[in-house]
Amino acid sequence: MKVHLIHQWDVSSKEAIALQISISKQISLRPIPKRITTVAGADVSYSRKGRELYAAALVFTFPDLVLLEMETALGTIDFPYIPGLLSFREGPVLLSALEKIQNRPDVIIFDGHGIAHPRRAGLASHLGMILKCPTIGCAKTRFVGEHRAVPPQKGSIQPIKYQGQVVGAAVRTRERVKPVYVSPGYAVTLNASIDIVLACCRKYRLPEPVRQAHIVANRLRLN
């Protein structure tokens, strides 16, 4: 995949926040203009004791989810842990893995947030802008906003509202299992994001591309 660098990564937290504000103004959420035939998942694993990062990016056919390609990358932690600035910590190593991908996916799902973020520029939005590729954030925990109780049935949805706007949805991907938190990242709508995540969830809470990327990243860390 081609990476369109729009800034340097060696920035202060203040500069990072300013960059997110600028990025959020350029985020466009729109329908994907063609039938989706491939989907990727990307995730990062952290060293337990050191500063190493391990990233994995996997591409699958859609909707049958047959693995087409798998790439990994190693990196180091060069940015402090600051809530809301995760993309500056994980972005470089994720892009290193995604840059190796030969089968450009129609959409990428990240373990993180899209516009459900204080500045509407979470990991999925930030990297989608850099990759110029539709991206979705699918997180295990809610970051901003509020939503009503999600009914226990698989496929149940409740919109997440933040500062008077709908920025994502709590989505029940398995019966009576905690919901995931879906938000569009870049060049995709919320409804399409929800549909794609649900279509990628099989036996587990997380969509299969992200779940498999998490397994590969952890395996890389343990080797």
Is the pLDDT reported for residue 48 higher than 90? no
In the prediction, which pLDDT does 150 show? 97
| Mean pLDDT, rounded, for 124-131 | 98
Is the pLDDT reported for residue 35 higher than 90? yes
In the prediction, which pLDDT does 54 show? 98
In the prediction, which pLDDT does 19 show? 98
Helix (H) / strand (E) containing 97: helix 86-98
| Mean pLDDT, rounded, for 30-48 | 95
| Mean pLDDT, rounded, for 120-140 | 98
In the prediction, which pLDDT does 52 show? 97
The number of C-alpha atoms within 13 Å of 68 and in the hemisphere containing its C-beta is 17
| Mean pLDDT, rounded, for 40-63 | 96
Is the pLDDT reported for residue 162 higher than 90? yes
Cα angle vertex 192, ends 134, 67, to 5°? Answer: 60
Q: Would you place residue 223 in the very low, low, confident or very high pLDDT band (cuts 50, 70, 90)?
A: confident
Q: Would you place residue 195 in the very low, low, confident or very high pLDDT band (cuts 50, 70, 90)?
A: very high
Is the pLDDT reported for residue 41 higher than 90? yes
What average pLDDT does the structure give for the chain?
A: 97
**What predicted TM-score, i.e. pTM, was given to this entire model?**
0.97
Question: Could you count the other beta carbons within 10 Å of the beta carbon of residue 42?
Answer: 32
Q: Which residues contact 174 (CB under 8 A, 6 or more apart)?
A: 154, 201, 204, 205
Closest alpha carbon to 73 in 51, 50, 43? 43
Is the pLDDT reported for residue 157 higher than 90? yes
Task: Tell me the percentage of the chain whose pLDDT exceeds 90.
Answer: 96
| Mean pLDDT, rounded, for 23-44 | 96
Is the pLDDT reported for residue 49 higher than 90? no
Report the SS3 class of residue 211. Answer: helix
* Residue 149, amino acid: A
> Cβ(208)–Cβ(198) under 8 Å?
no
In the prediction, which pLDDT does 176 show? 85
Domains of the chain with CATH codes: 13-29+36-222 (3.30.2170.10)
The model's pLDDT over 58-84, given as tens digits with 9 standing for 90+, comes to 999 999 999 999 999 999 999 999 999
In the prediction, which pLDDT does 68 show? 98
Is the pLDDT reported for residue 181 higher than 90? yes
* Residue 130, amino acid: I
